[in-house]
Amino acid sequence: MAKTAKTIYVCSDCGAQAPKWAGQCSDCGAWNTLQESVAASANNAPSRYGGYAGDDDAAQIRNLADVVAERTERVPTGMAELDRVLGGGLVTGSVVLIGGDPGIGKSTLLVQALALLAERKPALYVSGEESAEQISLRAQRLGLPVERLRLLTETCVERILALVAKERPRVLVLDSIQTFYTEALQSAPGSVAQVRESAARLVRFAKQSGTSLFLVGHVTKEGALAGPRVLEHMVDTVLYFEGESGGPFRLVRAIKNRFGAVNELGVFAMTDKGLREVSNPSAIFLSRHERQVPGSCVLVTREGTRPLLVEVQALVDQSPLANPRRVALGLEQNRLSMLLAVLHRHGGVGMFDQDVFLNVVGGVRVTEPAADLPVLLATLSSFRDRPLPGDLATFGEVGLAGEIRPVPNGQERLREAAKHGFKRVIVPQANAPKKGLDGVDVIAVSRIGEAIDAL
């Protein structure tokens, strides 16, 4: 009897299947889109149903009211900043993907967290990248309690699962998903098909056994391809390392979290003793100048559930180019172009012959519109070469009609600014407190012209 084909090739554009690889998809004509994949036969089709539903033929439709939800059990990892991004501790049976550039500190963070977790729960660290000696050396250097931390160096998913079934850890770290392979596929470890299928098997195991799983994934330059992006929909929580690997600070952001707030930010400092938690991050993102310099403005932003003070810097310079440059680091470039148009139309300040560069200090990425007003003020300050007062902080969204719109959690932002000694805060009218705030001059504005006049 002919052996049934186990692997097929699926077009990533149109989903057409082919028994053999080819450079071009015969259905939609796209080039280089055929990728190896496991054929979905009757007993091998879990991924069609979400990956970990199991082979449960008896699934039934029920009333939501009849479903008894067990309380999700949360285990503190022993690192408060990691707990914060996880939404208040590690949920039993959850799968967490940690992504980031190579060398940014993923292994360091997980070894530290796992060593602390191992004191309370059976924990296993599976490494496909480093040797047992390397991991041991690092753990010793970091002065971690390693008596109860178990270690395995292996890259075959089937063998890992067989060993894990015997060992029965409650927390499992797999470092990194790009090095693991499943015997079901022929393609090399790190290829999209391998990464996806290996992860699917591990996720299914985690859900069935109630083991908490940390998956490490490198983001390669080509990101989308061999990177962990293909896994994001399979896992419960996605954490990414942000910030420059050259600097001392490491930001871990929750991109997706089924058990907590998204966009939550954990702040660490890389030291010779590993990653240290930074519990008051506002203090580190403000570069305190001796003298106030033009083009700098302090923004009160919100990362997840916590307000954060960051400095926005702008440089406006006469442009030699026909199309002046608009460069924004840590902020959205299109937003900058829009704000410059608003500033021209409603504020009467044109910068069409100027290069505008923007940067958020410390490698923080700000995606919320509350940065609009600080961006405008910093740009204006640089353009006019006049520094803003050192005790001024601000936040607010700017609309296309030149209006300043309120942003969520205004009171909390104001308190954070007051806590760090800011004496003047420019806020949207609707965010101004009714009774005022002790020791802080709250300047409420509703139009962009008022904000400019307030300076």
| Residues contributing to the site for ligand TYD (CB under 6 A) | 100, 102-108, 138, 142, 270, 272-274
Take residue 374 and report the two structure tokens written for it.
Answer: 């600080």
State the binding partner of 100 from Mg ion, ligand TYD, none, CB within 5 to 8 A by kind.
ligand TYD
Residue 301 interacts with, from Mg ion, ligand TYD, none (CB under 5-8 Å by kind)? none
Closer to Mg ion by CB, 107 or 187: give it.
107
169/311 Cα distance (integer angstroms) = 44
**The sheet that has 265-271: what strands, in order across it?**
149-153, 123-127, 171-175, 212-218, 95-100, 237-242, 249-257, 265-271, 274-277
Minimum CB distance to Mg ion smaller for 176 or for 296: 176
| CB of 140 vs ligand TYD, minimal distance in Å | 11
Residue 89 or 100: the one with the smaller Cβ distance to ligand TYD is 100
CB of 269 to Mg ion, least distance (A): 18
Cβ proximity to ligand TYD, 108 vs 211, nearer residue? 108
Identity of the residue, 38 or 135, whose beta carbon is nearer to ligand TYD in the bound complex: 135
Only one of the segments 64-72, 101-109, 372-380, 381-389 lies at the binding site for Mg ion (rule: CB under 5 A); that segment is 101-109
349: partner contacted, choices ligand TYD, Mg ion, none (Cβ within 5-8 A by kind): none
N residues, the chain: 455
Minimum CB distance to Mg ion, residue 169 (Å)? 19
Q: What are the CB-based long-range contacts (under 8 Å, 24+) for 48-57?
A: 51/200, 51/203, 51/204, 51/234, 52/203, 52/204, 52/206, 52/207, 52/208, 54/204, 54/207, 54/208
Look at residue 102 and give the partner it binds from Mg ion, ligand TYD, none, a contact being a CB closer than 5 to 8 Å depending on partner kind: ligand TYD
CB of 103 or CB of 223, closer to ligand TYD:
103
Residue 249 CB, nearest approach to ligand TYD (Å): 12
DSSP codes of every residue in 203-258: HHHHHHHT-EEEEEEEPPTTTTTTSGGGGTTTSSEEEEEES-SSSSEEEEEEEEET
* Only segment of 104-112, 146-154, 274-282, 435-443 that touches Mg ion (CB under 5 A): 104-112
Nearest to Mg ion of 129, 332 (CB atom):
129
CB of 136 to ligand TYD, least distance (A): 12
Stretch of residues binding Mg ion (CB under 5 A), selected from 69-77, 105-113, 238-246, 259-267:
105-113
Which residues are paired to 238 by β-bridges? 97, 256
CB of 138 to ligand TYD, least distance (A): 5
Nearer to ligand TYD, 173 or 342 (CB): 173
For residue 274, the partner it binds in Mg ion, ligand TYD, none, with Cβ less than 5 to 8 A by kind, is ligand TYD
Shortest separation between residue 142's beta carbon and ligand TYD, angstroms: 6
SS3 content of the chain, % helix, strand, coil (to 5): 30, 30, 45
- Smallest separation (angstroms) from ligand TYD to the CB of 133: 14
> Min. distance of Cβ 127 from ligand TYD in angstroms?
10
| Site membership for Mg ion, residue 108 (CB under 5 A) | no
> With 0-12 CB in 10 A as exposed, 13-18 as middle and 19+ as buried, what is 450?
middle
195 binds, among ligand TYD, Mg ion, none (CB under 5 to 8 A by kind): none
Q: Which does 108 bind (CB under 5 to 8 A by kind): Mg ion, ligand TYD, none?
A: ligand TYD
- Measured distance CA(238)–CA(252) in Å, rounded: 10
Give the residue from 178, 116, 193 showing the smallest Cα distance to 149: 116
Smallest CA-to-CA distance from 313 within 364, 357, 351 is with 357
Please state the three-class secondary structure of 146-168 as a single string.
Answer: CCCEEEEECCEHHHHHHHHHHHC
Token match 């600097």: residue? Answer: 247
> Which pair of tokens denotes residue 144?
């971690």
Q: Which is nearer to ligand TYD, 216 or 366 (CB)?
A: 216
Contact partner, 174, from Mg ion, ligand TYD, none, Cβ < 5-8 Å per class: none
Smallest gap from Cβ 107 to Mg ion, in A, equals 3
Give CA separation, 419 vs 393, 423, 440, in Å.
12, 10, 10
CA distances from 408 to 217, 242, 259, 430, 431 (A): 33, 24, 22, 10, 8
Judged by CB under 5 A, which of 33, 107, 187, 212 binds Mg ion?
107
Name the residue among 154, 95, 96 with its Cα closest to residue 126.
154
Pairing of strands 171-175, 212-218: parallel
- Look up residue 319 and give its DSSP letter: -
Least distance (Å) from ligand TYD to the CB of residue 176? 7
Residue 187 contact partner, candidates ligand TYD, Mg ion, none, CB within 5 to 8 A by sort of partner:
none
Q: Name the residues that contact Mg ion, by CB under 5 A.
A: 107
